[in-house]
Amino acid sequence: MRALITSAGVRLGRATGPSAAQAGFDLTLHVHRSGRAEAVAAEARALGRRVEILQADLSSAEDCARLAAEALASGPLDALVNNAALYERRALAGDHLGGVGADAAVNTRAPFLLIQAPRPALAQSTLTGGAVVNIGDIGGERPRAGLRRSTAFRRDPHAHPLLGRGARPRGCG
């Protein structure tokens, strides 16, 4: 079994990697900056798991596509953990619909793209069609001052309305 974990060197992604390795998963660890997931990789390798670390900027749709392609090129994928998040201190006022901020790109678009790309591979998984876990943030319910815009994009990460009913993640947020 193999899992792709975004932002695998920080926050919940940092904790998820070793837990997944203990459960028998080989790991593909995403990092935004190199060097952030080396400790996670070392822990997983100590358990006899295979590990690769891939760098990508999830605010870039092209990097999301490249990350998915590189992860899939390494073999079957059984689980995807969308942990990556970006919190920008920006006011809602002045935003317009013409552009997508980096926070919206990382917190909303990237999980959607990363779910879509491996869907066929996940469907072939021995884990009943694969597993997708999208990690949300309580800030969506209780926004923090100065972060209202960013946390709004993390409110309901598993409710991507563009996904078909059968394709929705079977995770919790």
Task: Kindly list the domain boundaries of the chain, sorted by start residue.
Answer: 2-167
- Which residue pairs from 58-62 have beta carbons closer than 8 angstroms and sit at least 24 positions apart in sequence? 58/6, 58/30, 58/32, 58/84, 58/86, 58/105, 58/106, 58/110, 59/86, 59/102, 59/105, 59/106, 59/110, 60/105, 61/105, 61/109, 61/113
pLDDT in the model for residue 140: 56
Residue range 2-167 in CATH 3.40.50.720: yes
Please state whether the predicted TM-score (pTM) of the whole model is above 0.85: no
Task: Determine the pLDDT at residue 107.
Answer: 80
Q: What is the pLDDT of residue 119?
A: 86
Cα 144 to Cα 26, 33, 141, 153, 163, distances in angstroms? 36, 26, 10, 13, 29
Contact in structure between 77 and 69 (CB atoms under 8 Å): no
Q: What is the mean pLDDT of each run of 10 residues along the chain (173 residues)?
A: 94 92 97 89 98 96 96 93 76 51 81 89 82 74 52 47 43 44
Quote the distance between the C-alpha of residue 106 and its chain's center: 9
